[in-house]
Chain A
Amino acid sequence: MRTAKTIFPIVVFLAGIILYLPVNFTTAPIAKPQTHVVEIKQMKFNPAELTVNKGDTVVFVNKDVLRHDATETTGKSWKSPALASGQSWKVVATKSASYYCSFHPVMKGKIIVK
């Protein structure tokens, strides 16, 4: 009886640690990466402003008749190839970026990494 009484809190304590730890690891900063779609249609990126988590994938889909691309504004980060009608291209978002279409520089968009 005496042994059981002393052991019980220890068991509860250990169980707590064991149960708590994995939960803590899976929910907090490392969420499962998601995929977001930016449609290029009627000379616009849609949505023009997209908020994502770090590590998420952004897919650009050209639904226009004309060719377009997505070019990160500073020119130092990423640039899609020319996307013909129906083609798509993806990038993994590691930091916030502004981008534009190099064929039609008036087309602009933004990816915000939370």
Chain B
Amino acid sequence: MKTFKSLTGWAASIVFCISMFHLPAFAQEKPTLSDAEVASVAVVANQIDINYAKLAKEKSKNADVLKFAETMASDHKAVIDQAVALVTKLGVTPKDNAVSKQLLSDADKTMKTLRTKSGRAFDKAYIDNEVAYHKAVISAVEGLLIPESENAELKALLQSIVPALNAHLEHAQMVQKQFSGK
């Protein structure tokens, strides 16, 4: 009985310590979003990748980079169309919010940096950013947008795009290999 008591006390203090360290950060990373805000974040996140792809089509001459950018433009457009069709059906108007604004201002900075580069340096910077961006979007969709969405159809739509995001990430990593040289 005594051992049991001290064991539970020990376990409780560990749980307490872990939550002390992790809860504040967790709460900061997870803002509360309405479905209208989730929809806005989803549309903005897809539009950003379409903009990166447009820039790549202007600046790159690498066949693999161009083919990848072409797939990004087409796939992310299809996801936006699907999201717009759903919110229209649900009568929801996407509403911008702290998360979507943050995404836009980060993308703005990245676009500025990408514009200063050309040739192989541009290709490498574009693909490196695509790898990082898809990783970030996957974790935002899985860790924030899916748990935050209340409507079942919105949740299902977000879940259905995860395999495509993963395929894009692997594709980007495949193209990235040819620039790993220097």
- Interface, chain A (partner B; CB < 8 A): 42-44, 65-67, 102-107
A103 touches B166 (CB 8 A): no
- The yes or no answer to B170 lying at the interface (CB within 8 A) is yes
Report B95 CB to chain A, min CB distance, Å: 24
Cβ of B174 and Cβ of A106 under 8 Å apart? yes
CA–CA, A66 and B75, complex, Å: 6
Residue contact A105 to B166, C-beta cutoff 8 Å: no
Residues of A within 8 A of B67 (CB): 102
The majority secondary structure among interface residues of chain B is helix
* CB-based contact A104/B78 at 8 Å: no
Q: Which residue on B lies nearest to A82, using beta carbons? A: B74
Top 10 A-B pairs, shortest CB-CB distance: A43-B163, A106-B170, A43-B167, A42-B163, A103-B71, A104-B167, A66-B75, A106-B167, A66-B78, A106-B171
Residues on A with C-beta less than 8 A from B82 are 65
What chain B residues lie within 8 Å of A67 (beta carbons)?
74, 78
In whole angstroms, how far apart are the Cα atoms of A66 and B164 in the complex? 9
Inter-chain contacts of B70 with A (CB < 8 A): 103
Give complex CA distance A41, B174 in Å: 22
Q: Which residues of A contact B174 (CB under 8 A)?
A: 105-106
- Smallest CB-CB separation from A64: which chain B residue? B164
Interface centre among A65, A66, A104, A106 (most CB of B within 10 A): A66
Task: Tell me the minimal C-beta distance from A8 to chain B in angstroms.
Answer: 72
What residues of B have a CB within 8 angstroms of the CB of A107 in the complex? 167
Question: Distance in Å from the Cβ of B92 to the closest Cβ of chain A?
Answer: 19
- CB closest chain-A residue, reference B70: A103
Please provide the chain B residues from 124 to 182 with a CB less than 8 Å away from any CB of chain A in the complex.
160, 163-164, 166-168, 170-171, 174
Residue among A43, A44, A67 facing the most chain B CB atoms (10 A cut-off): A43
- Roughly how many angstroms separate A43 CA and B79 CA in the complex, as a whole number? 14
